[in-house]
Structures are given as C-alpha cells and as structure tokens.
Amino acid sequence: MYPSKQRQLVLRQRPTGLPTEQDIELAEGDVKPPQPGDVVIKNLYLSLDPAQRDWMNDAVSYLPPIAIGEAIRSTTLGQVVASESDALAVGDFVIGLATNAWEEYSTTPAEQLEKVDNSEFPLHYHLTILSGAMGLTPYFGMLKLGLPAPGKTVLMSAAAGGVGSIAGQIAKLHGCRVVGIAGADEKCQFICDELGFDDAINYKAVDDLTAAIAEKCPEGIDIYYDNVGGETLDAALLNLAQGARVVFCGAISTYNADGPVPGPFNYWQVLAKGASVHGQMNLKYADEYPAAIEQLKAWVRSGELKFAEHIVEGIENTVDAYRMLFTGGNKGKLIVKIADPD
Amino acid sequence: MYPSKQRQLVLRQRPTGLPTEQDIELAEGDVKPPQPGDVVIKNLYLSLDPAQRDWMNDAVSYLPPIAIGEAIRSTTLGQVVASESDALAVGDFVIGLATNAWEEYSTTPAEQLEKVDNSEFPLHYHLTILSGAMGLTPYFGMLKLGLPAPGKTVLMSAAAGGVGSIAGQIAKLHGCRVVGIAGADEKCQFICDELGFDDAINYKAVDDLTAAIAEKCPEGIDIYYDNVGGETLDAALLNLAQGARVVFCGAISTYNADGPVPGPFNYWQVLAKGASVHGQMNLKYADEYPAAIEQLKAWVRSGELKFAEHIVEGIENTVDAYRMLFTGGNKGKLIVKIADPD
C-alpha cells in the first residue's frame, strides 16, 4: 500500500557552487504507479554522495544529467510496498544503486534492485559499508585499479571520508603502508588511531602540501587514490614513484566550480613517471558485486574493517546535510533516515 | 683517432617558446677523453626529438634538465673511433638512446650503447625506424599500453609524424580501424594512401575538432594515442568509448608554452568513461629492445611497415631543423647527418 502523493527533493535549477534550497526544493509529487516488472519502494534511507553533485550539472558524465523538475537521482535503501514482479515481494528490503531518488517512494524495475538480507547486520549497514559508494567503490577501486601489494606506499585523499576510510583499510589489509590526507587534526587522529593508517597529513595545517607528502612518502607514492582532484592531485602527482597507479575515483574539490575546470597542472608527471591513471566505473564489475559484498561482510564481522556513519534524520534536512559533504562537516558515510520499516 | 676539439650545440639559456640560436649556440668544445669502459664515438647522425625540448626546461621530468653550458642531450648514431672497453671496437657502429649529444664526438660508457649490425639496412634506418623514438616508442606505446585488437577504433594524433605514422601502422597490423589527425591535406593523403590508415582529419581545416572526431569515430575511440596534448587531447577525451585507453606518449603542443600548462579540461572523462591514461616510459622494456628491433626489421623487410625520413645535412643546420618539429615542416622522422663513416 502506498499513498498517491509524496514528498520529493526536486531539481529546480542547476546549482552554481554549493546546492541551495532554491536549487533543490522539497515539493509534493505523485507516486508513480508500478508497471509490470516494477515495484514501489518506501525509501527508508537516502544516500548522499559527491557524484550526485555532478549529475546536477548539465555535463557529459557516466549518467545523464538530472533533468530540471525531476527528483535528485540517488542510491536508496527501502522496503517494497507494492510489487508487479515475481522477483520481489511486499516487505522485502531492497537497495537500488543510483536507480531511485531523494523521495519518499520510488517506483523502479525489480531487475535493477538488489534484495537485502538484513538478518545479520543493522539495516543501514547495507546502504553504507556493505554496498554502494562506501563499500563497493573503495573495494573495486583499490583492488581492481590500485592493485595493492605488500611494501607499496598508498596515499589516500579524503581519508576520513566514506570512500577514503575504507579504501585505506583495504590497502592495509593487503600489506601496504598507507598515508592519509584529511582536513582536521581530529580526523587525522581518527584514521591513524582507530582505522590503523600508518600516517596522516592535515592539509589545512601545512603550507606546502607537496613537501608534506614528500616527507611522509620519501620513496614516492605507488598508489594514489584520488577522491578530490585539484591542488591535492597536483601535489600527489609531483610525488609519484616510477610506475605509480592513480585511481581516479572522484574530484570533489571541483564539483562546485563555476565554469570549466582544467585537469591537473602536473599531468605531465604521468608520462615522466611512466605512471597510469584509471577512471573508476563500478558498473564494469556488476557480476562481482555479490562476492564483493560477502568479502565486505566478512571484514566487518571480524572487525578488520571499521567505519563511521553519519546519519541525519528527516527528508527536510537532506539539502542541508548534502552541503556538509563539501564543507567537511561529516565524518564517515552520510545518509538520511526518512522513515522506519513497516 | 679523434681530435681534441669539436663543434657542439650548447645550451646557453633556457628557451621560451621555440628554441633559437641565442638559446643553443654552435660552439667549440673539448672532446672528452675516454675513461676505462668508455668509447669515443664520431657521431654520424643526430636525432631530433620533441622530448629534447622538455629537457631544455628547468622542470621535473624522467631525465634531469640539460644544464646550461652543456651540449643538447640526444640519441645519436655514430662510429667508435677510440675504445677503452672490450665490448666495442674501433669501427663499430653504435646507437645511444639519449646517452649522447648534438656534437661531433661523444664519449660514453660502452654499456650504455647498442652495437648496430648494418649489413642489411641503410645505416640511418637504425636511428629512425629500427630504434629510438621512431621505432621503439610506437612499438612499445601501442603494444604495451594501447593493446590493439581486431575491431578496435584507434585515433592517432600527429599521425604523419615519426611516432604517429608507425604507431598507426602497428595498430593496423593488429586489426584495428585507425583514424589519423594531421595538419595538412597532403599529410592526410599520405597516411591514408601510402600508410593504409582508414581515415584522416586535417585539424587545421575543421572548425570543431570534437565534432569531426565524432563523425569519423561514431562508436567512440577505444585507443587514443596522444603525441600532442592540448586541444586535440581535449577533443579526443570527449569521444572516448567506455573503457578506452589513452597512451600518453607526448604533448608537443605544450612544450614551447610560457608558464605552467594545465592538464586537459576534459580530464573528468577519464572517470566518466571508466578509461585509463598510460604514461609511456620505454626504459621499462629495455630487456625487450632486441626482440622489438627484430620485429621492426621483419615488418620493414616485408614492406608491411612504411616510413618517411627527413634528413637535413650539416650540424650547423640543427637548430633550424629542430624548429620544424613544432611548426609542422617535416614529414617523417627528422635527423641531421653530420659526417660520413670512416
């Protein structure tokens, strides 16, 4: 059972800089009736991911821009409340990777959703560490593109964030020395003391990030995991070891820029160091999602993988919360709880 | 036997823009006496390569900058005229990859040189197609980094140049469809009619290079071989197919720039297309040089690999000739003949 009307966060205009309530409005909309093969999902948790900021622009990316007047595309965790598919039943918990939206009810083809077995872990773990941006992104980014191995030096950007904190721990689990970059002493302490990183740099407390990286990575960086782009990427490029691999997972420092953003000024270092840059696209590994999730569960179960969640309550607080991603206000994976399960 | 004095092209100041005779002076210098293990080489041919422009800058690259007052570092082909090594004898022909200089006599450790067997091919082939920048660079760049395979679409920048013309033909030999970019109709005709490229774009004759590439590569580019950087790279990035590979071999459009050059404005496409960028460093494959040269010889022998050489005469014309690399004046690999063999 579902209502005919719902609350949605609708894109009214393309943001310049940080999204505001003028750009994204909480409005009343229809719940779309299911077609054959669809289910209606009551969303319980919304995922807040940097990539969404890119989808708000009118730009060529791996998914089309969100159209003006549409709800903000999102990964959500929810419960099936009506089903026109044999694959899912009312009451099932499901996650949809970028298939749903910031709204109370999403109507989605069942084949695009994954059923969640919530018997072992708290429900929201399935939206944070066990799936989506916080789980699968660092898993595939580090293991398929970074190729961690004992003795390698890893530099992790946005190391206290959802992706960086997990990618760094996965590198540690594979024998690497891992140095994290974060924007506060307290975050640096968190990644070293609680997550087991070897060292950390508070980029806001250093004058010369290139020199600070050189000091912490005296033999150069073998794997640079890039979540941020911009000046941090440029500083990392000047410290690459021969044959280094750059995992290009995101560029959060540039998402709110006004106008075209140039690539790194030190792009030449990719040639000078015989290095490589690998753009991350999880969809390539869709066949391996179940195995990846099993591995993540095993690491969470054993306590080898630690993580932080930042849970905001109420759909009306979503845009406010979203801005925290870019101002550094959150610690750990940011999600919004908008309803309880039936 | 060798003289005590010689003519050398000496770096007097770091060029801004195209190198001039004020930057690089033809001067008299000493021939360096050989130490144990060294040979003295009478240089017969000098190689003129875009990478040398980068070494003239005071910048971090894969080799240190050329010091002010030193002769311009170069790959040369020459003949041993004095030997303090058991490995090489007077009369032997040798090639040194970036070990010698634009000068009449180079004194170099024998272990850094390769002996040339000139029994089958004209001597200068060993400096052009069978070695160094024109032979090994496209060979390793295409085969180790581009990974050509039947059905793939290759876009080749600077397609009529020394590297591009060979890299494109190697892709053709591996079943690819190859589209070349060049700066004159006559060059486009050359690569299609004589080298067997499938199609060509005269970038000077199109208003919108991005659209021109889209028209010639309607299913996207699988392999972009980048010799030029700049606007051509940006146009190529907007046309990448999912999972595309960019071979980053050079960036000739930027070498004469005044001040820092940003990376590509469309760098984001590397992520959006799950693509990768691979900086080329031939030294990684040093163990495979002999096998590569044998393969190149076989292709030249069978006529499967065609190539053009542009041979200028006289050491005094070297700097003039060098500027042609950047103005598009040469067709094929540019070398300067400065002496005849003994």
Q: Does B262 touch chain A (CB under 8 A)?
A: yes
Q: Touching check for A276 and chain B: CB below 8 Å? A: yes
- pLDDT of A60 strictly over 70: no
- B326, with CB counted inside 10 A (0-12, 13-18, 19+), is middle
- Domain ranges, ordered by start, for chain A: 5-128+308-337, 133-283
For residue B265, give the nearest of A62, A262, A278 by CB distance: A262
Name the minimum distance, in Å, from the CA of B173 to any CA of chain A. Answer: 25
pLDDT at A257: 74
pLDDT of residue A133 exceeding 80, the answer is no
> B262–A266: do the CB atoms touch at under 8 Å?
no
- pLDDT for position B60: 67
Average pLDDT of the residues in B12-27: 95
pLDDT tens-digit readout, B245-291: 999 998 877 777 777 788 899 999 999 999 999 999 988 998 998 89
How big is the A-B interface in CB pairs under 8 Å?
105
pLDDT at B133: 74
Q: Which of B54, B232, B267 to mutate to test the interface with A (most CBs of A within 10 A)?
A: B267
Q: What digits encode the pLDDT tens for the residues A270-319?
A: 999 999 999 999 889 989 988 999 999 999 999 999 998 899 999 999 99
Chain B within 8 Å of A257 (Cβ-Cβ)? no
Residue B220 reports pLDDT greater than 90: yes
B125 close to B44: Cβ distance less than 8 angstroms: no
Q: What are the DSSP calls for A220-236, one per residue?
A: -EEEEEESS-HHHHHHH
C-alpha to C-alpha distance for B174 and B37, rounded to whole angstroms: 42
Chain A interface includes B62 (CB < 8 A): yes
Determine whether domain B133-283 maps to CATH 3.90.76.10.
no
- Which chain B residues touch A249 with a CB distance below 8 Å? 271
Domain B5-128+308-337, CATH among 3.90.180.10, 3.40.50.720, 2.60.40.1290, 3.40.50.170 = 3.90.180.10
**Is B149's Cβ below 8 Å from some Cβ in A?**
no
* The pLDDT value given to residue B58: 87
Q: Residue B155: count other Cβ atoms within 10 Å of its Cβ.
A: 31
* ipTM of predicted assembly, 2 dp: 0.86
Q: Mean pLDDT, chain B, as a whole number?
A: 94
- Give the CA dihedral A265, A266, A267, A270, nearest 10 degrees: 180
B51-78 pLDDT tens trace: 899 899 987 677 899 999 999 999 999 9
Residue A148 or residue A284, greater confidence: A148
- Residues A62-94 have pLDDT tens digits of 789 999 999 999 999 999 999 999 999 999 999
CB B132 within 8 A of CB B113: no
Q: Which pLDDT tens digit goes with each residue over B25-43? A: 999 999 999 999 999 999 9
User: Which among B242, B248, B268 is the nearest to A270, CB-wise?
Assistant: B248
User: B108-120 pLDDT, tens per residue?
Assistant: 999 999 999 989 9
B251 to chain A, minimum CA–CA distance in Å? 8
Decide which of A114 and B41 is more confident.
B41
Q: Do B265 and A263 touch (CB under 8 A)?
A: yes
Chain B residues with CB-CB distance to A250 below 8 A: 271
Question: Is-contact B72 B24, C-beta < 8 A?
Answer: yes
Decide: helix, strand or coil at residue B144.
Answer: helix
Say yes or no: do domains A5-128+308-337 and A133-283 share a fold: no
Cα–Cα nearest to A161, from A84, A69, A253: A253
Query: Does the distance separating the beta carbons of B264 and A265 come in below 8 Å?
Result: no
